[in-house]
Structure 1
Amino acid sequence: MSQGYAIELYFDPALENQVLKAWNVLARRQISTQLIEIESRPHITLFSSPSVEPTRLESIIKSFASKQEPLLLSLSTIGSFCNDNNVLFLAPTPSVSLLQFQSQLCEAIKKEGIDLGDEYRAENWIPYCSVAQEVPKTRMAEAFCVLRELKLPVSGYAMDIGLVEYSPVRELFSFGLGNTVEA
């Protein structure tokens, strides 16, 4: 049963592998395996909604992706949100190009009459790449220590943008940035 939809920004293979390395280290230490179990892919969420018609988003995303170039990213910070989900993440250095990218996508979505929700408005959006979810509170410090062993920053490019249904994660479609051909 679907819990929602998300537009995700995907990385080049080298950057994706750096994030997967973090997932695997946390899984081996039995701290968190949820992202692996739900078959997620390393990404930055650009927009999410509990109910949206995927076919309405496909043409928006395809058109948007065709006008964009691969985006330089540098995952430079380890963080956590102050909520009960106990999410740990790697955050990109918030470049003007990344912030404009997300803002322009949301403007295109809003023009189609789709509600953004507060979390994805330009002034509220926090870019991050999850590396662990539902970490037991008693293991948060250990998880941070494990992530500190990563040699940050790790840099690469955002190469694709896609729509997924969750959970479990199922990619509905994706498009390469700067291409008009489906990825």
Structure 2
Amino acid sequence: MSQGYGIELYFDPAMENQFYLKAMSQGYAIELYFDPAIENQVLGAWNLLAHRQISTHLIEIKSRPHITLFSCPLIDPLKLENIVKTMSYNAAVPISFTSIGTIPDDRNVLFFALTPSMALLQFHSQLCDALKKEGFEIGEDYRPGSWIPYCLVAEQVPKAQMAEAFTVLRDVKLPYYGYAMDVGLVEFSPVRKLYSTMLGTKDEE
């Protein structure tokens, strides 16, 4: 067997921890989750694409069908959790998925687009007001008036299979009608639930 030597550099504990955190988690997101019927329909689309070996990424990172309301880099999640708790006073939000879309970036994503109801837009605006009061900066993609609600169906689709993915999803019988029933806070990636609560309830914690 051949033998050799190498020179290795090691970081101080603080810097090593920073690299570890960056590798393990890139941020937090506040998400809306659906009633069981809608969730199962979205999961069916995920599984259909996985069965066709087009995309399994959302399944692999243990995501859950959702609408992202807000996302931010690593911060103290307790402040976000408290804001999520205040949103539980709101009633369930009616939603409707009406079309299939994509985003022109390197992630090669496909999604179910929503026709946003007034209730959904008001819910999002109320959340943003609460975030701003706590000093959170809201990126352009999540600001009221710019935010486009959607539910991811596939991510990291090979470019050569994008057309096939669209063809597969065209067999999905849209529109879907239902409700957003829960709001939650997750850490990513991989996805780890930190907190969730049903809408239309008063959180006593």
Secondary structure, aligned partner of 1:82: coil
Matches within 5 A, 1:160-175: 160-175=182-197
Give the AA of the match of 2:138: L
Q: Does 1:16 align with 2:39?
A: yes
> Could you tell me which residue of structure 1 aligns to residue 100 of structure 2?
78
2:161 is the alignment partner of 1:139: yes
Question: What secondary structure is seen at the aligned counterpart in 2 of 1:134?
Answer: coil
Equivalent residue runs for 1:9-88 within 5 Å: 9-66=32-89, 68-88=90-110
Q: Provide Cα deviations, 1:108-167, integer angstroms capped at 9, x if missing partner.
A: 111111111111101211101000000011100110111110110011110000000000
Q: What amino acid maps onto 2:133 in structure 1?
A: K
- Amino acid paired to 1:141: A
Counterpart for residue 101 of structure 1: 123
Q: CA deviation at 1:51?
A: 2.2
Kindly tell me the number of residue pairs found equivalent between the two proteins: 181
Whose relative contact order is higher, 1 or 2, with alpha carbons under 8 Å and at least 6 apart?
1
Q: Which residue of 2 aligns with 1:125?
A: 147
Match of 1:2 in 2: 25
Structure 1 residue identity aligned to 2:132: K
In structure 2, distance between residues paired with 1:11 and 1:60:
20
Q: Deviations over 1:45-90 (max 9, x none)?
A: 0000012311001111111222x00011111110000001000000
Q: TM-score, normalised by structure 1?
A: 0.96
Q: Report if aligned partners of 2:88, 2:203 keep a CA contact under 8 Å in 1.
A: no
Partners of 1:97 and 1:71 in 2: CA distance: 6
Q: Distance in 2 between matches of 1:103 and 1:52?
A: 22
**Aligned to 1:107, what secondary structure does the other structure show?**
helix
Q: Distance in 1 between matches of 2:148 and 2:75?
A: 21
**Gaps spanning 5+ residues in structure 2: where?**
1-23
Amino acid at match of 2:189: S
Tell me, what secondary structure is at the counterpart of 1:85?
coil
Percent identical: 64
Higher mean C-alpha deviation, range 31-40 or range 99-108: 99-108
Letter in 2 for 1:18: Q
What is the TM-score of this pair, normalised by structure 2? Answer: 0.86
Larger Rg over CA atoms: 2
CA distance in structure 2 between the partners assigned to 1:12 and 1:75 by the alignment: 13
d(CA) in 1 for partners of 2:117, 2:178: 13
